[in-house]
Structures are given as structure tokens and as C-alpha cells.
Structure 1
Amino acid sequence: MKLALLIFATVLTLAAPAAEAFRIEKDIAYLAPDRKEKADLYLPANSPAGARRPAVVIIHGGGWTGGDKGAAREINIGTNLALNGYVGLSINYELASTNKSEAKATWPQNLHDCMTAVRWLRKNAERLQVDPERIGVIGGSAGGHLAAMLAVLGDKDGLDPKGPYGEFSCRVKCAVDLYGPADLAGHHDISMLGKTRVEAPELYRAASPVTYVDKSDPPILILHGTADKTVDIAQSKLFAAKLKEAGAPHELVIVEGAPHTFHLQPKQRDLRPVVLGFFDKHLKAAR
């Protein structure tokens, strides 16, 4: 019994510094008052008075119909960001129903929600000690698609939201796309668009990151596993090829043996140096 208590006390002692290194504020209202979707804030525990920190919006996956800001991947990303001096904003956004009788198109409202999250960070920059010029985005799977859309669209007209905080930009300084589909016309029919590829090919093109690629895009890091059975790795290779063709800054990292849904610490490879190094280069070094 004494040995068990000693071991328990030792574990608590060892865990204490990590537990105190950041804090989480849950269920923040970042959208309009009539919206149920909320966000979780990951905050470094201490920051010198007057210091401004970089921030990253975290967008969950789930096929645009499911997923949550508090899923394992999103917690892993938010925790690693906060432990390394970033403010992380993990968001829920409008999801499409999987019930065909209740199906409705949620595009582009889901994208608008992600854009609003960036604007919310800028609106609250002083309170959160965030540098409004150093905001990035990361997302996995469907969230990777939305993160890529944020990057390639910027403030372009047409898909820019008309919701709250319209006086603030929704541009991001860099983006990380974890195995997100980049060409929806070459993916499969998607319920959030409300129509099939045959019925609305232009809609599928309009919802695809590859459509908007140009030289002015911010740096984009793309990661994809060779064992992904959900989103074909060809999607990420095509996205990288389009970015290269346009002369846009980008990196493509192929993770050997990694399946779909991996976070920053899959068993195949520790990706923290890659992802955090990318954010450090473009958000911490950029002053």
C-alpha cells in the first residue's frame, strides 16, 4: 500500500509541470448568439505582460457530418500548441446531417464558421495577447480541406462570410493540411454540398482548394499517410503539384505507413518537429 501511494505521488509530481504549462477555456461562444457551436481555447499558462503570442485555429474532421473540437486529434494538437507558446482555438462548426430525410446543404456555412473563428481571434487579440498578424490554421481530413480553403481563399469575394466581426480579416499567415481532400470533384459525392458531382460539377469545383491556388497563397504544409484508406494520397499530391505550378510556397510530407486520422504523434513518426517547426518558422519568426 505504501509503495502504491509512493508511486502515485511520484506520478502526480512528475505530471504537475505539464499540467501547469497551459490551461483550457471550454465552450467559448465565437459565432453569432443564435448558434450552438462553440470553441475551446488552449492557452499557455504564463505570458509576460505586453507580450503578443501567435495563434492557430484547429478544425476537426469527420466527413463534414461529424467530429468534435474535443476529439483525440484536436486535443493532441491544441495541447502541443499551447505547450509551445501558441494560443489554440479548437472549433466546432455547422455539420451536415447523415439522415437523408433531414439532409441540407451546409456549404459554405461550415467554411464561413472557420473564417469567423479567425476574425474572432483578431477581435479578441488584446485580451488573449494574440498578435493579429500571426494567425495560422490546422485541420485534419474534412478539417484539412477547410484549413486549405482558408489558406487559398484569404479575403477573396464570393465565399467570404457576412457574419459577425466583418471588420476583421479572415486571412491566415500559414496553414497545415492533414490529409484533407483538395479536389472534391475527384473525391466522391459529399452530403454537405447537397448535390452529387453529376448534378453540380461547378459546385464541387467551387468547394475545392485546387480551384483557387495562386502565387499569393500563404505557406501550406501538407501531410498524408501512405496507408490512408479514406482520402486517397493522390489528393495531397495533386494539391502540392498545383501549388508548385503556381509558384506558391508549400511542403508535402509523406508519412510512410500512417493511416487516416493521425495526430502529431503517430506511432510511425513523431511529427511535432515538422508541424511545430513549420508554425515556428512562419508565425514565431515572422514579426
Structure 2
Amino acid sequence: MKLLRFIILNILILATFLSCSTESVDLSNTTDSLDTSEVYEKLDILYGSSANQTIDLYLPANRNSNTKTVILVHGGGWTSGDKSSMNYLKDLIQLEIPNIAIVNINYRLADSNNPPYPMQIDDITNVVNFLKSNKERYSISDKIGFIGVSAGGHLSLLWSYAFDINSNVNMVCSIVGPTNFTDPVYLNNSNPELQPLIDAFEPNPTIAFLEEISPFHQVTPNAPSTILFYGGQDPLVPTSQGTNLRDRLIALNVNHQFTLYSNEGHGWTGLNLLDTWTKLKVFLINNL
């Protein structure tokens, strides 16, 4: 069975590089009814005025008002990336957990004039509000989960811990996402590859600001169930980013799961990727 899943996983990952879609449609003002007995998919739905404020929506067949939604948030150091990089996860969820809705999001990318925070958090808020305003038309619940990778992991954790004012988030997953910008490894950084990522938020930030944008400092006992995956040889996100948040979740008695792949870097393939999906799938089923 593990071999079969490994083969399927790699086929799906390959498919993400061989396929693309150019469909673009704004459904924000559409009111026509949808057949809930059928699968419904639309790409590049606008949720704001920027070209980067788009989502891909995947609704399962036989959905109803109890159908929950998982939101996928791509990485790219807050300054680059695209939702297409998350298509392999979308494919796996559709294949193995076909009864949940999926929203794969793009968000405005940061540059020298537009820092990631609060811009990208505002974009996630807009996505959540868009889903809420359309939940009757789409026949979905207002209960959601997040899966984020790298910068997307950071955004997913931060929004879930600090901005989910209506307690809609049931679970959040971070795969190699930064969690604490007051970590001494970041404050005393000497890695030239890493520094531009740190400076993306603010060149000379205060400690108070760094705490404001750090999930580690924003998490509370009411945080949603959290699953974390990190690499022990990651040059961008040191191990302490995962282990310190894990310890904080333990202290706060927050339901969580933590996996450290000691020999992996900022992402992995093969059997460890299969292990990540196997654990994430069970966590999604049990907590979303």
C-alpha cells in the first residue's frame, strides 16, 4: 500500500508541472444556483481588485451546509510564488479526502513599497469573508482549515492564531513556515541568503513588531489544532522555529502534532513526503 501511494504521489507531483489552466472568471456577483450533487470547479475567481487576489475553488459532489473547506497558501518568501505550486496537495486531497472543499489562493506579493504585513493577512481575511458571503450558494460550512508551505505556513499560522476572531479555523498546518522572528538565530543572522527574507517585513523592526508578526508570540490556549513539519537542515527556517512553537503548544495544551525530518532541508521528496501526506491526511480527517 505504501508503494502504491508513493507511486500515486509522484504521478500527481509530476502532473502539476505538466498541466496548466487559463480559465479566468469573476463569480463575486454571480447568483445562479449550483447543483450540489455535482463537482464544481472554477479557477481564478477574483476576491479583490488586484490581479493577484484570486482563488481556485474546488467543491465536492454531494456537499451541504456541513461541508468544510481547506485553504491552501503557497510559499515564496512573501515576495514571489503562485497557487499553482500547491496543486499537488489539491490533487491529493481530492483523491483521498473527496468530501471537503478546497480553496487554493493567490495573494498580493510584497515589494519595496508593499510589505507583507498586514497586506497578506488582509488578503486571507478577504478570502475568508468571500467564502462566508457565498457559503449558501456554494453549500459549504463556515468552518475552515489551512495548509501553508514556507511563507504560506507563516501566514496560515498567524491568521489562525491572531485574526480568526469568529473561531472558524478548526485546524492549521505549517510546512517549514517561520514562526518566531525574535528567534536569536534570526536576530543575529549572518546568512546572506536569509537576510532578504527577514528584511521583507521591515529593515529595522522593533521587537514589538517582530512579536506581532510571529505566530509563536500570538498563539493562545484557544488556538486551533496545529500540525507542523520541519527539516533539520533547513538553511532558511532553523529547527528552533518548529521546536519552540511545539513546546509553546504543549505549554498551552493545544492539540498538535510535530514532525522533524532531521536530514531534510527546506522541503523534501520521496518517502518523507509520503510520510508528510499520510500524517496530514489523518490530521485533516480528524480535526477539520
Q: TM-score, normalised by structure 1?
A: 0.75
Q: Which residue of 1 aligns with 2:67?
A: 53
Amino acid at match of 1:252: F
Q: Contact 1:118–1:171 (CA<8 Å) still a contact in 2?
A: no
Q: Which residue of 2 aligns with 1:76?
A: 88
Q: Which residue of 2 aligns with 1:67?
A: 81
- Deviation of the 1:170 alpha carbon: 7.0
Q: What secondary structure does 2:144 align onto?
A: strand
- CA-based RMSD of the aligned residues comes to 2.5
Say yes or no: does 1:125 pair with 2:135: yes
Amino acid at match of 1:172: V
Q: Which residue of 2 aligns with 1:26?
A: 43
Say yes or no: does 1:253 pair with 2:263: no
- Deviation of the 1:278 alpha carbon: 0.6
- Deviation of the 1:216 alpha carbon: 0.9
* Residues 93-131 of structure 1, C-alpha deviations (whole Å, 9 max, x = no match): 12112xxxx443231111111122222222222222212
Q: Contact 1:173–1:219 (CA<8 Å) still a contact in 2?
A: yes
Q: What secondary structure does 1:107 align onto?
A: helix
Aligned with 2:238 (options 214, 232, 235): 232
- Deviation of the 1:261 alpha carbon: 3.2
Q: What secondary structure does 1:202 align onto?
A: helix
CA distance in 2, matches of 1:149, 1:76: 24
1:1-287 equivalent positions in 2, closer than 5 A = 24-31=41-48, 33=49, 36-44=52-60, 46-47=61-62, 50=64, 52-71=66-85, 74-83=86-95, 84=97, 85-97=99-111, 102-132=112-142, 134-156=143-165, 169=166, 171-186=168-183, 187=186, 190-196=198-204, 199-262=205-268, 266-270=270-274, 271-283=276-288
Compared with structure 1, are the counterparts of its residues 233 and 23 closer, same or farther at alpha carbon in structure 2 (3 Å cutoff)? farther
Compared with structure 1, are the counterparts of its residues 170 and 121 closer, same or farther at alpha carbon in structure 2 (3 Å cutoff)? farther
Q: Can you give the 5+ residue segments of structure 2 that lack an aligned partner in the other structure?
A: 1-14, 16-37, 190-194
Q: TM-score, normalised by structure 2?
A: 0.75
CA distance in 1, matches of 2:203, 2:234: 26
CA distance in 1, matches of 2:215, 2:106: 21
| Percent of aligned positions that are identical | 25
Q: Can you give the 5+ residue segments of structure 1 that lack an aligned partner in the other structure?
A: 1-14, 16-20, 157-168
Q: Which residue of 2 aligns with 1:162?
A: none
Q: What secondary structure does 2:114 align onto?
A: coil
Q: Contact 2:73–2:149 (CA<8 Å) still a contact in 1?
A: yes
- Deviation of the 1:86 alpha carbon: 1.8
Q: What secondary structure does 1:116 align onto?
A: helix
Amino acid at match of 2:92: N
Q: What secondary structure does 1:177 align onto?
A: strand
